[in-house]
Amino acid sequence: MATVIAVTSGKGGTGKTSLVGAVGSCLAALGHPTLCIDMDVGLRNLDLSLGLSDRALMDFTDVVEGRCPLDKAVVEHPDIRGLYLLTAPFSLTGAVTPEGMQALLRQARERFRYILLDSPAGLGPGFELAVCGCDRAVVVSTADASALRDAQRTVVELTRRGVEQIHLVVNRVQRKLLQQLGATIDDAMNTAGLPLLGVVPEDPQVSLAANQGYPLIVKASKGAAIGYRNIALRIEGRRVPVMKIK
């Protein structure tokens, strides 16, 4: 059965797009046909995280508005079998509605095991489109107070829209910063009011991979790559210990 997961955050800079690209890559590498859809209209960067820059010619509005079938619009990764991207447009027209997005997702469910939606930061129209047809949501936050407050607001909006299965990922975690704040991951979970799906450490390899145009898991096997892999395994339903941040 296909699962649609909206990956969202209350604010920008939490590493949400990098997480979608890396976790999507891991799920595909585990043998699950996976589609990553960039919902960040005008500011799309998921192609960079997936190493698919300039390969995607059609976007999700082309499918929703009937200009191109889904099979022709998605782009498969050349190195990770089963990993696909459907990119975002540079602007959004009024013709794209939640009903149209839900119809697109119904088509995607017939072909893919996992569909990850990279929601834009904030709670505007892009957020509405990203969560209108999801089965579950992942809220990505850093450990700082402002990000966690925004995560709380995001949870309220997700709940109001009927999303019942919501989990937290604490991303870009720095042990020294946690020590300076006198905080723990448990504190972050309590503040956000969510069960934990995973922890990912701050890792310069994430930016390096995006800048050089390859998915993180292709060349990295430690640091953030382990955190992303563990999240993918938990999405599969496996029991994996929470990564310890050193």
Q: Model confidence over 4-21: pLDDT tens digits? A: 999 999 888 899 999 999
User: Looking at the predicted structure, is the pLDDT value of residue 190 above 90?
Assistant: no
Instruction: List, in sequence order, every beta strand (DSSP E) within 123-239.
Output: 136-141, 165-173, 196-201
- The domain locations on the chain are 3-236
Q: Kindly state the percentage of the chain with pLDDT values over 70.
A: 91
The pTM assigned to this predicted structure is 0.93
Q: Count Cα neighbours of 137 within 13 Å in the Cβ-side half-sphere.
A: 28
User: Of 106-110, 119-123, 172-176, 220-224, which gets the smallest average pLDDT?
Assistant: 172-176
Which CATH superfamily includes the segment(s) 3-236?
P-loop containing nucleotide triphosphate hydrolases (3.40.50.300)
User: pLDDT band for position 106 (50/70/90)?
Assistant: very high
pLDDT tens-digit map of 89-103: 888 776 788 999 999
Query: CB-hemisphere CA count at 13 Å for 221?
Result: 1
Q: If pLDDT is split at 50, 70 and 90, which confidence band does 181 have?
A: very low
Report residue 176's pLDDT band, with 50, 70 and 90 as the boundaries. low
Is the confidence at residue 131, as pLDDT, over 50?
yes
Residue 238 has pLDDT above 50, yes or no: yes
Taking Cα atoms as reference points, which of 210, 244, 216, 213 lies closest to residue 229?
A: 216
Is the pLDDT assigned to residue 182 strictly greater than 70? no
CB atoms within 10 A of CB 150: 21
How far is residue 198 from each of residues 146, 168, 186, measured CA to CA in Å? Answer: 20, 7, 12
pLDDT attached to residue 191: 67
Q: Check: CB of residue 152 under 8 Å from CB of residue 123.
A: no
